[in-house]
Amino acid sequence: MGKGAGREQMNNSVGRLITFEGGDGSGKSTQLHMTATWLQEHGHEVIVTHEPGDTSLGSEIRSILLEGKHTPVPECELLLFLADRAQHVSEVILPALDRGAWVLCDRFSDSTMAYQLAGRKLADLDGLAAMLEFAESGVTPDLTLWFDLPVSEAIHRIRSRSSMGEESTRLDEEAQSFHELVYAAFTELHQAYERIIRIDASGAIEQVQEQVQAAFNVRGMV
């Protein structure tokens, strides 16, 4: 039996995978933690995780990818993100789903679609869909929240975070044109997939969280 069969079993259990997506600086990580607390109050077992780097092996891949010591070519960058994903799905996500937990994941395959396929212009690579499915063991999110923030606003937030001493990553420092490609890709993904709900990330933290909770309600998930 293939690894993908695990996901079919999961669909019959109460486990859920909810992914939080968006450009850098969109505030999704803060929202993810607020959402975790809210879901726990509803009695769910909640696992909070992120990509890249939330396994011991993955944290080493994360350093290679983001610290800026290396500049991988686009193909290498894609394969490293997928290597991190394969380890993460197998070690963290599937076991949690199998025991019925709700997994809140900060970035997943839509980030790869937006950053590598669109941003790095790898969309025409042969066999790409099969590679993604292989790395993800066929796991698909039950719900994806896209935190929509215009690029100019996101860049402003990233700059003010780094002026306050927060470290930026190699990808944060990409040119505005790269972030525009990423933004356009998230917009297209949202139009193409019903599982993706758009959250207007430009408002106050509480207003954004209200939209997140409304999204779970709309999908009948609370």
As measured in angstroms, the least distance from the Cβ of 133 to ligand TYD is: 14
Largest CA distance in the chain: 52
Instruction: Determine contact, residues 23/186, Cβ cutoff 8 Å.
Output: yes
CA nearest to 24, candidates 111, 85, 88: 111
Q: Which stretch binds ligand TYD (CB under 6 A): 1-9, 106-114, 122-130, 148-156?
A: 106-114
Which of the ranges 47-55, 129-137, 186-194, 212-220 carries the binding residues for ligand TYD, by CB under 6 A? 47-55
- Closer of 86 and 171 to ligand TYD (Cβ): 171
- Looking at residue 126, the DSSP 8-state letter turns out to be T
State how far the Cα of 86 lies from the Cα of 96, in Å rounded to an integer.
Answer: 15
Region near ligand TYD per CB under 6 A, out of 46-54, 138-146, 184-192, 213-221: 46-54
Task: Provide the β-strand partners of residue 200.
Answer: 148
Task: Look at the block and give the residue holding tokens 């937990």.
Answer: 101
Contact (CB, 8 A) for 6 and 98? yes
Interface mask toward ligand TYD for 112-141; x: CB under 6 A: x--xx-------------------------
Closest CB to ligand TYD among residues 162, 217: 162
Nearest residue (CB) to ligand TYD, 101 versus 185: 185
Contact in structure between 45 and 16 (CB atoms under 8 Å): no
Residue ranges in 63-102 that form contacts with ligand TYD under rule CB under 6 A: 66, 81
What number of residues does the chain have?
222
Binding piece for ligand TYD, criterion CB under 6 A, among 33-41, 104-112, 141-149, 190-198: 104-112
Would you say 102 and 16 are in contact if contact means Cβ atoms under 8 Å apart? yes
Catalog residues that contact ligand TYD under the rule CB under 6 A. 24, 29, 50-52, 66, 81, 106-107, 111-112, 115-116, 169, 171
